[in-house]
Chain A
Amino acid sequence: GQQVMQIPQYQHVQEGEDFTTYCNSSTTLSNIQWYKQRPGGHPVFLIQLVKSGEVKKQKRLTFQFGEAKKNSSLHITATQTTDVGTYFCAVGNEKLTFGTGTRLTIIP
């Protein structure tokens, strides 16, 4: 199956600072999905990227798919306490592979 590396594993930011997590693959991806898991909760779908160079925004969240479709990023502008959680990317075909996740904690 497809493999993906996600960095960083942890990120601690002051409230109001920006946050970015990255997913990288050695192979070209057909698409990539992003999920968020709040502490004690289950993963929840955020978005899917399909096209080369695609950029999608959801309020303060910006998702990018690389031109070569081998990497993707999730950027949060001006973090808030509600952004706390672990963010995962997911790739694959029938078999789905998740990145190891980036755990975001926010210092008020």
Chain B
Amino acid sequence: EAQVTQNPRYLITVTGKKLTVTCSQNMNHEYMSWYRQDPGLGLRQIYYSMNVEVTDKGDVPEGYKVSRKEKRNFPLILESPSPNQTSLYFCASSLGSGGYGYEQYFGPGTRLTVT
């Protein structure tokens, strides 16, 4: 089954404790991205990757890191989480950028709480 998986689905952590949210897709997609969703703000893009070893900042990259060493995986790293990073996070993938007309496939989401 074609899908985007994220782990963990739920995470409660404390300020400053490094964490990684994994994202994997099995559709051989070149484009992957991370979004955060907050009430009233919609989906905001954190980072995106056009291909392996190619990553770029989205609209809200501060406090996050990403890497794209393999085509299928695109982990999101919070080196020192803070309470303002409490949010619902979505990973998405597509054949190409959604801006060029490619349908984005979203993962199920990761609800992160930082205390």
Contacts and interface: CB of A to CB of B under 8 A. Distances in A.
B56 interface: yes
Interface stretch (B18-26, B63-71, B72-80, B95-103): B95-103
A94 B48 contact: yes
B106 A90 contact: no
Given A88-B43, A91-B99, A92-B99, A97 B108 contact: no
Interface of A: 1-2, 6, 9, 30-31, 33, 35, 42-45, 48, 50, 88, 90-101
- 8 smallest CB-CB distances across A and B, nearest first, come from A92-B99, A100-B42, A93-B99, A98-B43, A42-B106, A45-B103, A96-B98, A101-B42
Given A100-B40, A100-B42, A101-B42, A94 B106 contact: no
